[in-house]
Amino acid sequence: MIQNKLYIISNEKISKSDNGFFCDNLDMKSTPEGLKTNFDIHILGRNSSRVRSHKINIEKITLSKTIFGFIYSILKTFKEKETKYLIISISPFTFFASILLTIFKKRSITYLRSDGYQEYRNILGFIGPIIYHLMFSIVSKTSYLIGCNKEVLRGKEGKIIYPSQLTDKWFLNPSNKEFGKIKLLYIGRIRVEKGIYSLLKIIKKLKKDISLSIVGMEKNVKTNIKQQKVNFFEIETSEDKLIKLYDSHNIFILPSFTEGHPMVLLEALARLRPVIIFEEISHIVGNKKGIFVSKRNSQSFLEKIEYIKNNYKNIQEDMKNNILPLKKDFLKEFENLILNTN
């Protein structure tokens, strides 16, 4: 059977070694791999000199060090027929890719996984949302939009899809042991916009016996953060080990300033681990049980911890009523959207 050609254009930094291609963003690995059953996948990404964590099981990957190389790699695809283009998120690199596709009358799909306005504000300050708004306004007129929630579409026409990394394994025998010591867990990138530094300041002010495990340090990159009862671990690539990490802690923390549809939140809920978030991302709660919204200060944060500790069993029982999306359903829906978009 002749497969549809799908070029996935991403700002993601990807490293290459004798063993293949690697990235740090699990979604950049799992989504292309999940779509390759019915698509001939070719990824266009940015070259990384630093070793990354997740091996991408896709053979056709082209990496560019500069924006000019990135544009050239896209131009080379135009000689092929019956090709579809999927752009992952809006960044300067993918924005120029979208413009180029429009000039050459190539229809593209842009998949928005988070709120770029908030991300750019946290990274660049007040000028960030202005830059993102310019790019978003143009892309929304030239590309078909798919978003992980209504907020990221900002009223523009597009489809909503709920991503997930959950397999059936995530729901097998969730641990219901006693609360015990307060053991907090964060899984994600160590970035300013992810709120991890804000969380560390809050933890430092607490006088309770609380430990925090941070899983998301890039390979061969050491942090200079030294804080009592805070432990850093590299990005974890094993599903079984990730499940054990959730089970060995009793509260999951998601300190981000902006989120669209966080996969780690679903993982924590699947393992019946209550989640504490902050007010900036309260929109992600929806009808899900077991998520608690704190103000971004030590007093409010500690109050949420104490409430969860004192009501742990009841909260876990309530969490069993959550209906969580599965990875296989997400990929099937995504595949249909791509196939039916002209």
Q: Same domain for 284 and 186?
A: yes
**236 token code pair:** 């974890």
pLDDT of residue 196 exceeding 60, the answer is yes
Q: Same domain for 158 and 71?
A: yes
Confidence of residue 308 (pLDDT cuts 50, 70, 90): very high
Q: Same domain for 159 and 211?
A: no
For 65-107, strand residue ranges (E) read 83-88
Q: Same domain for 257 and 119?
A: no
Confidence of residue 219 (pLDDT cuts 50, 70, 90): low
pLDDT of residue 297 exceeding 70, the answer is yes
Question: At 273, which amino acid appears?
Answer: R
* Percentage of the residues of the chain whose pLDDT score is greater than 70: 97
What is residue 221's predicted lDDT score, i.e. its pLDDT?
61
What is residue 222's predicted lDDT score, i.e. its pLDDT?
64
Segment 300-312 mean pLDDT: 96
Instruction: Tell me the average pLDDT of the chain.
Output: 91
Q: CA-CA-CA-CA torsion for 47, 50, 54, 58, nearest 10 degrees?
A: 30
Q: Same domain for 39 and 109?
A: yes
Q: Same domain for 252 and 332?
A: no
**Which domain range does residue 188 map to?**
168-319
Phi, psi of 292, deg, nearest 5: -125, 130
DSSP state of 176: -
Task: Report yes or no on whether pTM surpasses 0.75.
Answer: yes
d(CA 252, CA 262): 13
Q: Same domain for 189 and 298?
A: yes
d(CA 22, CA 250): 31
The answer to whether 171 touches 273, Cβ cutoff 8 Å, is no
Long-range contacts of 266-270 (CB under 8 A, 24+ apart): 266/164, 266/165, 266/166, 266/324, 266/325, 267/165, 267/166, 267/170, 267/187, 267/242, 268/185, 269/319, 269/322, 269/324, 270/166, 270/170, 270/171, 270/174, 270/324
Whole-number Cα distances in Å, 207 to 204, 212, 312:
8, 14, 21
Q: Same domain for 57 and 141?
A: yes
pLDDT of residue 265 exceeding 70, the answer is yes
pLDDT of residue 178 exceeding 50, the answer is yes
Length of the chain: 342
Domains of the chain: total: 2
Q: Same domain for 48 and 197?
A: no
pLDDT of residue 1 exceeding 50, the answer is no
Segment 94-98 mean pLDDT: 95
Q: Same domain for 150 and 178?
A: no
Q: Same domain for 182 and 264?
A: yes
Q: Same domain for 175 and 234?
A: yes
Where residue 292 sits, what CATH number does that domain have? Answer: 3.40.50.2000
Of 34-48, 60-74, 205-219, the one with minimum mean pLDDT is 205-219
What is residue 303's predicted lDDT score, i.e. its pLDDT?
96
pLDDT of residue 41 exceeding 80, the answer is yes
